[in-house]
Amino acid sequence: MSEKGLTNISLKKINKSKVYQYIHRKKTTSKLQIVQELQMGLSTVSQNLNLLEQEGLIEKNGFFESTGGRKANALQIVSDFKISIGIGILKGMFHITAVDLYGNAFYTDTIPLPYSNTPDYYKQVTDAVKEFISSRQYDNDKVLGISIATQGITSPDHTTVLYGDIMNNAGMKLDDFSRYLPYPCYLEHDSKSAAFLELWNHPELDSAVIILLNRNLGGGIITNHQIHQGISMHSGTLEHMCINPDGPLCYCGNRGCLETYCSANALEQAAGIPAKEFFPLLREKKSPQIIQIWKDFLNHLAFAMKNLNLVIDAPIILSGYLAPYFTEEDIEYLAKHLHTAAPFILDKTQILVGTNGQYTPAIGAALHYVEKFIQSI
C-alpha cells in the first residue's frame, strides 16, 4: 500500500477517534458543535457520525431546542455498548462492580469471604463474576475485561503482588484469577485504582493527592495527569507516614503511622462501634466522647494533609469508605487546622471529597479497560 494510502487511513482513524472521544467527553452534543469545536468539515463529521452510528457506538437521543431552524439531534455515546468489571479484594470480603463507558457503576455487591491463597478462594471470586455476567446474559465480547484491585503493591508489569502485609498476600498473581476467566484481566494496587477513579471524576486536575480512607488507609499521587507509581511502585503509600514515633504499633512493624490514626479500622477501634453506627451518633452532637474521637481523627488527618501539601502543592481528595460521611463542617474544620503552623494556605475549595465509598477501588479498577476502549476507537 502506498504511503499516501496509509496516511489517508490513519487520518480517517484519527478523525473518527476525535469525534467519538468528543461526544464521550461532552456527554450530549450536536453535529454543529462537533464541527465548530473540532474545526472539521461538515462532510467529514457527517461521515464519521454515520460510521459510529452504524457500529452501534453512538445514538441520537432527542433534540436540542430550536434556534430558528430545524431542531438539532442530541448525540450521545451508547454507554452500555461495552461494560467493564472491577473486583476489590479485601481481607475479609470482596467487592464486585460493573461500570458502563461513562464509568457509572450500575452494579455493586459485597461478598463476605476471608482471603486465603488457595485455588478454592480464587475460584469462588471468579465464579461470582461469571455468575453476574451469566445472570445478565451478556455475550463474552460485551465485557471489556476484569480488573482486580487488591490491598498490596504490585509489580511494574501488574502480574504479582510484591508487598502485602495487610492480607499476607505477597506473591498473589494475576494468573490466580485469570486462569478461571475468559476475559482480559488486570491486577492493580487498590490505592492506585482509587486514584484513577478520582482522576476520572476530576479530569480538570493536573495534580492531586488522594487519601484513601478505607478500612486500611491508602493513598495515591497524581502528577501531570498520571498516577505516579514510583521507582518501587510504592509512591503514595502515605499510610506509613510517621506522625508520632511513640504512637500505636502499625501492622508494618513501626509505630505512629498515619494508618493507626486515620484508617476506618482505627476510628472503629477508638469508638468501639462500626462506622455506620458512629456517624449517626456523631451528627446528633449529644456524646462528648464521640465528638472528641472524631476531632482527634480530624486533627491527625489535618496534620498529615499539611505536610503532604508542603511536598505536593495540589488539591487533596478524601476518598474511599469514610469519604461520604464527611460534611461541609468537617471540611471547614480540616481547612482551619491545616493552616495551624503552616506557612502556606490550602483553600478549602481545594479539599475535595469522593462519593463512591467502599467501592472506590473496584470502580477505579474497572475503569482501566474503559479508558483503553475509549482510546482505541
Give the CA distances from residue 345 to residues 311, 315, 348, 368, in Å, rounded to whole numbers and listed in that order: 13, 12, 9, 34
Say yes or no: do domains 3-77 and 83-194+360-376 share a fold: no
Q: What is the DSSP string of 147-167?
A: EEEESSEEPTTSSBEEE-TTT
Contact 96, 109 (CB under 8 A): yes
Predicted local confidence at residue 236, as pLDDT: 94
Topology of the domain covering 204-357: Nucleotidyltransferase; domain 5 (3.30.420)
Predicted local confidence at residue 1, as pLDDT: 43
Extents of the domains making up the chain: 3-77, 83-194+360-376, 204-357
Q: What is the DSSP string of 12-76?
A: HHHHHHHHHHHHHHHSSB-HHHHHHHHT--HHHHHHHHHHHHHTTSEEEEEEPPPSSSSPPEEEE
pTM, to two decimals = 0.94
Can you list the residues of the chain whose pLDDT is less than 50?
1-3
> What CATH class does 83-194+360-376 carry?
alpha beta
pLDDT one-digit tens code per residue, 111-141: 999 999 999 999 999 999 999 999 999 998 9
Predicted local confidence at residue 5, as pLDDT: 55
What are the grid coordinates assigned to 329, written together? 463542617
Domain at 3-77: CATH architecture: Orthogonal Bundle (1.10)
Closest CA to 188 of 2, 371, 373, 47: 371
